[in-house]
Chain A
């Protein structure tokens, strides 16, 4: 069965500094998607970044980038120039969708605090 692990329940970062959130997953599939979602206190789920497993190039979105290591089944999120608005819960998610099923697994989350 697929699993997603986030080993850091809580992290903190100084404003303007860089922080990396860890995520590992387990799957026997070769074709899947990985995501990082942000959940602020409003509880809204906001997509931060997406990575297709068949792409070797790491995805980037402005200050957010990932380090995707397929063989190691690792998918970490790097936030550069951290801002107060980055404080939130961050979830790593795995999605494997075929014609017969749509499996989505979330990690337990990492709570990120940003220190002014």
Chain B
């Protein structure tokens, strides 16, 4: 399987804390994306990082990419209850349009 793997599979933290999720993949990539999925809804794109970038920020999100280790991390700072969702990484190693999704991290923010 070419699927990436997220770690941890589930994460539960208190509101206000930071949440870090990791993603590992197997093939060479041009870019890596992170998506969020709320319960019963479709995936929503959060951020894209290109293979020549090491770090990218968007609001409370910080993404890092280490192509030598084939891994990425997503940091959500100052978490809120509304951040409760599943988070997936997706890579384009099989082609620009053939995204391969990881199994996801289920994040729960406790009020």
A binds B: no
